[in-house]
Amino acid sequence: MPYGEKTEEQLIEFADKIFRFFELKKVKAVVMACNTTSAVTYEKLKNNYDFKIYPIIQSVSGILARMPVNKLGIFATPATIKSGVYSQEIHKINKNMQVFGLDCPQWVKIVESRGENKPENIDIIKSNLSLMLANKPDKIVLGCTHYPFLLPVLDKIAPKELFIDPADYFAEFIKNDLIKNDLIKEDLTPASEIFYVSSSPENFKKAGSIFYQINDLPRLVDLDA
């Protein structure tokens, strides 16, 4: 951690190991919820496995491209912005939309440390937002799973409706596609959930509680085994 500062070679290696682990678990689909890995690794790895992969950027870009906006801002990690994938995918459908990307390398650490209310971190967030607002975007995509947790700070500086959490569109896209491909679970029996981590289960459970209630300690797995 954090993924957004890793090299392309590192990200591909990590993603491939994770996908191989999922193969052993005989999954039917994998959600690539991380914008960084979606941007950097999906095209290079997508045909290497026997399950369906849902990458967040490629899945939601069509929806973003059809929005009635002329200027779209993208806040994301350095790796995602460097890849240019948001712009590339959007321009496949809407060549006229102007897309402005800005990397925010400190935002993930701010969220994971729960330091969004510290004055020095508020200054960082304000500085990034000011740079983006200079482009006069109609909407701004929070292009990292962590960034929506900074909305309480962001919406004190700019209107909340300016910001887009792509996860909302992503979840709907996945649901509809599973139905379309006859992969949706039909019965309504409660699902089980297991979390796996490659290190520090205790730290993951603590940090993960920002997003979701994790009841059991995640299982430690050696991806190099």
Active site amino acids? 34, 144
Whole-Å CA distances, 38 to 23, 54, 151, 181, 212? 18, 9, 23, 21, 22
Q: CB–CB of 36/81 below 8 Å? A: no
Residue with tokens 């979606």: 38
State the Cα angle at 74 between 68 and 174, rounded to 5°: 70
Residues 6+ apart with CB under 8 A from 223: 17, 18, 20, 21, 198
Please give the helix or strand (H or E) that residue 53 lies within, else none. strand 52-55
Please give the helix or strand (H or E) that residue 219 lies within, else none. strand 219-220
Rounded Cα distance between 210 and 207, Å, is: 6
Neighbours of 102 (CB within 10 A): 18
